[in-house]
Amino acid sequence: MRMKRSDTLLYPKTTSVRKLPENLAPEDLALFQHELQREIPATELLCLKKVKISPEGFLFQTPHVLPESFAIPELNPYKTFYSQLKLWARMRASHIFAENFPTGHWITDEWSMAYFHWITDSLPRLYVIRNQITNAPLLLPKAYEQLEYVRSSLLPFNIPLLRYIEKPTSCEKLFLPTHTAPTGNYNDPLIRDLRNFFEGAYFKGNLKRNKNRIYVSRAGASRRRIINESEVVAVLENRDFEVKHFETLTFEQQVTLAFHTDCLISNHGAGLTNILFMRPSTCVLELRNRTDAHNNCYFSLASSAQLRYFYQLCEPSNEEEAPHLADLVVNCERLKSTLDLMLS
């Protein structure tokens, strides 16, 4: 029942070739080597017919959950017909279909509420259809309305009709751009176009910039914190870095701060998403768990955005924790050496 339009191609297939870190140690090549080149599929516009949408954002063609509901369809937890039927029955049992749209547009999956995935997965999908959203609404799950960064980041697109879905909804024709790249990867020309789009929206040709040095703290997070952050901050403040907590800033404030930043430092976390809004040839330093060879999304983003990427491997505070959860301990003497290289 899924049908593609005849004019489906939005962005052609491309290859993302990543630049190695500026301070790569030969013994660390294995951390990055498998990400140095990635084929990025073409982005197409799908027309899905007679779709039911749950308030959580699952897409159904009765009673099947569509793979387009998921960031990585292979990880779909509802693969069996029985599990899909249960999910469908639960939705039907608790609600009637409250609204029917003749046509609509869709850009989200089950991960899109997270800041990183909203900015790097959903907004690129919106960007490629921004001129096609005219008479048919953009549909989003109701929970997204509570997220300041969702509401604010949508404003530059001047979407004529936006509807937040609170109850199960039917849509006769749902237009859906495929992901512009596998999550954690990027269509390089597109991601740069998106940066330029926000630059034009917020700065309107005024490209005079401050040259800030920023350390993004995760002290308020529940995981991936820097255990010896006071020592790290002392080193950074001696080199004119300011400490910022991005979760306390509005989306526009985050974009503005990133635009005015020449050097940004953080450990792995959502705050690093804002390197997308930094200008080409500026610097980012990622403090990484030495055991983590998997999470290269910010290394890849820095390359796509034409930034100078540096890294420093750090010890986990608890060797038994998964790399994406563990707090880190930063070697401050090594940090000084890395800063000397980066700031030179």
Domain limits, the chain: 42-180, 202-343
**Helix 332-343, helix 229-237: angle, nearest 10:** 30
Distances from the Cα of 241 to the Cα of 79, 161, 253, angstroms:
48, 42, 18
- Is residue 228 within 8 A of residue 332, CB to CB? The reply is yes
* Residue 262: pLDDT over 70: yes
Residue 62: pLDDT band by 50, 70, 90 thresholds? confident
Burial of 53 from C-beta contacts in 10 A (0-12 / 13-18 / 19+): buried
Please state which of the ranges 13-22, 228-237, 318-327 shows the lowest mean pLDDT.
318-327
- Identify the pLDDT of residue 245: 94
Output the pTM of the full model: 0.91
| Residue 52 host element (H or E) | strand 43-53
Give the whole-angstrom CA distance, residue 33 versus residue 18.
10
pLDDT tens digits for 69-93? Answer: 999 887 766 666 656 666 666 666 5
Mean pLDDT of the chain: 90
Task: Give Cβ neighbours of residue 153 (< 8 Å, ≥ 6 apart).
Answer: 118, 119, 123, 251
Distances from the Cα of 8 to the Cα of 119, 183, 276, angstroms:
23, 21, 27
Map tokens 């820095």 to a residue: 302
Taking only Cα atoms into account, the Rg of the chain, rounded to an integer number of angstroms, comes to: 21
263: which 2 tokens? 């050097």
Please state which of the ranges 168-172, 205-209, 282-286, 300-304 shows the lowest mean pLDDT.
205-209
CATH code linked to domain 202-343: 3.40.50
Give the whole-angstrom CA distance, residue 24 versus residue 22.
6
Give the whole-angstrom CA distance, residue 278 versus residue 126.
21
* Residue 325: pLDDT over 90: no
Task: Give Cβ neighbours of residue 238 (< 8 Å, ≥ 6 apart).
Answer: none
Q: What is the mean pLDDT of residues 118-138?
A: 95
- Identify the pLDDT of residue 6: 43
Considering Cα of 162, then 164, then 167, then 171, what sign does the dihedral take? positive
- Is residue 294 within 8 A of residue 318, CB to CB? The reply is no
- Identify the pLDDT of residue 108: 97
